[in-house]
Amino acid sequence: MVTLPRIRVRPGRKLSGSVDVPGAKNSVLKLMAACLMADGDFTLTNVPDIDDVATMSDLLSAIGLDIRHDRTLGRLDINNAGGLHLVAPYELVERIRASINVLGPLLGRFGEVRIALPGGDDFGSRPIDMHLNGLTQMGAEFSIRHGDVHAFADRLHGADITLDFPSVGATENLLTAAVFAKGTTTIDNAAREPEIVDLCHMLVSMGASIEGIGSTTVTVHGVERDALRPTSHAVVPDRVQAATYIAATAITGGEVLVRHAIPEHMEMLLRRFDDMGVTVEPQHNGILVVGPEKLKSIDVVTLPFPGVATDYKPLVVALLSVADGVGIVTENLYPGRFRYVDELRRLGANIRTDGHHAIVRGVPRLSGAPVRSPDIRAGAALVVAGLVAEGETVISDVHHIDRGYDDLVGRLESLGADIARI
Ligand code: UD1
C-alpha cells in the first residue's frame, strides 16, 4: 500500500529568525509560456521548486521546448528550437489553470492552436469567455470540438478591448497575443497584479513594445512575428508565500524577517495585518513581522490588485479564527471558495458561511485534528492554524500545497515550528 505524504504540525515556540521568499508561482508559469514567443535560449532565475513548474515543463515540452530545471540554483534553462507542435493536450491542461497561458503566445505567433478547455477546480468553475472575446476582437476565430478550443487567425490585428472584469489570465493572454498583432491593441480595465507587471517586463526585454505597464490601461504596439529575441529574467518574489510566513509569524506571536517580500506588492494586506495588531515594518530587503499577544478581529473584502487578493483569504480566515472578536470576510472573485472552512471547523474554529461571506468568531484556542488540504492556499492556511492548535494537526492531500509552495515545511521548521512531513 502506498502511503501519501502528510504534514504534521504541533504548537510550539513563537516563530523567530528570517526566511527567504521564493519566486512567484503565478509569475513563473506565465514567463515559461512566454518562451514560446521567440526562438533561442532563455534563462529564468529565482524559480521556485514547486510541482506546478514541473507540470508546466511537461506541457511546454510536449509543445516542443527543451527545458532543464536546476532545483539547487532555482534556474530554468529553456531552449526554443522552433518546429513547435501547436497542441495543448487535456491530460496536461487539466492539471493547471495556467496552461491556458499558451493560447496568446501560440495564436499570436503561429496563427493557430488547439487547447483542451480547462475544467473547473476545487473552488468552482473558471470560464475563459473574456480570453476568447478579446481575441475575437483581434480577428481570431474559434471552434470548440471534442472538448478542445481550436483557434485560428491569419494574423491578429490590433483592437480596443475593454474587459468586463480585470481578469488576470485574460489580461495575460490578450497581452501576449497583441505583441504579434498588426497595429496597436489597448486593453482597458486590465488586471495589474505584480505578476502581470513581471510578464510585461520580460516581454519588453524580448523586444515587445508595451505602454502603461502596471496600470489599468495597457497599450501594445504589435511587432513582426519573428521580431522577439530570447532573454534572461528573474522571477518576482511570491507575495502569497510571503503572506504565508507573515501569517505564520503573526499567529504564533513571533518575530521574523520575511526576506525579499516586496511591501508595495501587498500594501492592502499589510494594512489589514496592521489592523489586526501585527507589526509589519518594511525593511530594505523584506518585511519585519512582529506578532501581537492577541490578534484583533477585522473585516476583509477580496478584490483584484491592489485590493486584498483572494489567494490570501484562507490565511486571513485562519488568523481570525483565533482573534479577539468577530470578523467578516467577503469573497468577490470566487463565490465557492470557502470549502476549507469545514476543515478549519474540525480544528474548533467558529465560522459560519453565507453566500460570499464568512463570519468568523475568534475562539480562545484551536485543537489539532486530521484535516485535508482542499487546494494550495487553503492547505497552507491549515498549516498556519495548526501552529497554534493544541495537540497535533495532520494535514493530508499535501500534493496541493506542493503545487505552489517551495519547501513550506522546511522553511517553517527553520523558524522554530514543530512541523514535519510524514
Ligand atoms: C489567477 C491566479 C489565481 C488567483 C486569480 C485571481 C494564476 C495561475 N492563478 O487566476 O491564483 O486567485 O488570478 O487573483 O495566476 N473569469 C471569467 N471569465 C474569464 C476569466 C475569468 O468569468 O474569461 C472569472 C473567473 O471565473 C473568476 C474571476 O473572473 O471568478 C477571476 O479570474 P482571473 O482573474 O482570470 O483568475 P485566473 O487568471 O484564473
Mutate to test the pocket of ligand 1, among 55, 125, 126 (most ligand atoms within 8 A of CB): 126
Which atom in ligand 1 lies closest to the alpha carbon of residue 97?
8
Handedness of CA 396, 401, 406, 410 (dihedral sign): negative
Per-chain mean pLDDT for the chain:
95
Q: Residue 333: its pLDDT value, please?
A: 87
| Amino acid in the structure at residue 15 | L
Protein residue with its CA nearest to atom 15 in ligand 1: 26
Q: Beta 184-188 vs 217-221: how paired, if at all?
A: antiparallel
- Evaluate if residue 405 carries a pLDDT over 80: yes
Taking the C-alpha atoms of residue 118 and residue 386, their distance in angstroms, rounded to an integer, is 33
- Say how many Å lie between the CA of residue 165 and the centre of ligand 1: 10
Interval between CA 33 and ligand 1 midpoint (Å): 17
Residue 325 CA to residue 297 CA, distance in Å, equals 5
pLDDT at 251 over 70: yes
CA distance linking residue 389 with residue 384, whole number of Å? 9
Which residue has the least CA distance to atom 7 on ligand 1? 26
CA distances from 337 to 126, 362, 376 (A): 12, 20, 12
Q: 207-226, pLDDT tens digit by residue?
A: 999 999 999 999 999 999 99
Smallest CA-to-CA distance from 385 within 398, 371, 403 is with 371
Q: Is 120 in the pocket of ligand 1 (CB under 6 A)?
A: no
Say how many Å lie between the CA of residue 273 and the centre of ligand 1.
24
Residue range 166-180, pLDDT digits in tens: 999 999 999 999 999
Model-wide pTM > 0.85: yes
Gap from CA of 118 to ligand 1 centroid (Å): 12
> Residues 317-369: pLDDT tens digits?
999 999 999 999 999 888 767 889 999 999 999 999 998 999 999 999 999 99
From edge to edge, which strands make up the β-sheet containing 40-45?
Answer: 66-70, 75-80, 40-45, 232-234
Q: Which of 262, 289, 285 is nearest to 277 (CA)?
A: 289
Pocket test for ligand 1, best of 55, 135, 167, 305 (most atoms within 8 A of CB): 167
Whole-number Å distance, alpha carbon 125 to ligand 1 midpoint, is: 10
As given in the structure block, the three cell numbers for residue 179 are 505583441
Give the pLDDT score at 3: 76
For residue 127, give the ligand 1 atom closest to its CA.
Answer: 18
316 close to 329: Cβ distance less than 8 angstroms:
yes
Measured from the CA of 167, which atom of ligand 1 is nearest? 34
Res 123: pLDDT = 46
Residue numbers annotated as active site: 121
